[in-house]
Structure 1
Amino acid sequence: ERFIEPGPLGTRASPAEKMAHKLRTKAGRAIYALRKQTVEPVFGIIKSVLGFRQFSLRGLKGVTGEWSLVCMAWNLKRIAKLRLK
């Protein structure tokens, strides 16, 4: 059952049913598998290595500025690591 392509989806399917159907297809599984290797390790490193677990400021403007600083710190750390090679 895991390796069989699902049949066509009905026209009255809910968004949740459409997403479940998409994840059962080969293409959908391949795209979803990319999540494991692209972005999510960066968030784990930001949490564990940089120690960033919660925002200190309130409001969209404050959070945006704080997130920009965290991303800049990540990028500088990455550049420094790559330059050593």
Structure 2
Amino acid sequence: MARKLKTKYGKKVYARRKVIVEPVFGQIHTRQGKHLLLRGLQSVAHEWKLLTAGHNLMKLHSYRVNPGT
């Protein structure tokens, strides 16, 4: 992995990771907290879907309230 990150292509791909995925986990973590509340794979999957749906609705709402930002 370290060798891949030293290449131009590796740096470019890794830099996009911050833009695509990482902020979503950080924003959900800030709003919800560190841990999921339910136990069991199926329950956690449902809770995660609910959290991500809420996150997407918040994004849509903020875009509608403040278009162009």
Q: TM-score range by the shorter chain?
A: 0.7 to 0.9
Return 5+ residue gaps in structure 1 as ranges: 1-18
Other-structure match for 1:47: 29
**Alpha carbon RMSD of aligned pairs, Å?**
1.2
- Within 2, Cα distance between the matches of 1:32 and 1:77? 27
SS at match of 1:53: coil
TM-score w.r.t. length of structure 2 = 0.83
Q: Equivalent of 1:63, from 14, 38, 44? A: 44
Residue 30 of structure 1 deviates from its aligned partner by 0.9
- The percent of aligned pairs where both chains have the same amino acid is 44
TM-score (norm 1): 0.69
Q: Which has the larger radius of gyration?
A: 1
Between Structure 1 and Structure 2, how many residues are aligned? 66
List structure 1 segments (4+ residues) > 6 angstroms apart after TM superposition. none
Distance in 2 separating the partners of 1:24 and 1:75: 34
The unaligned stretches of length 5 or more in structure 2 are none
For residues 24 and 33 of structure 2, the distance between their equivalents in structure 1, rounded to whole angstroms, comes to: 12
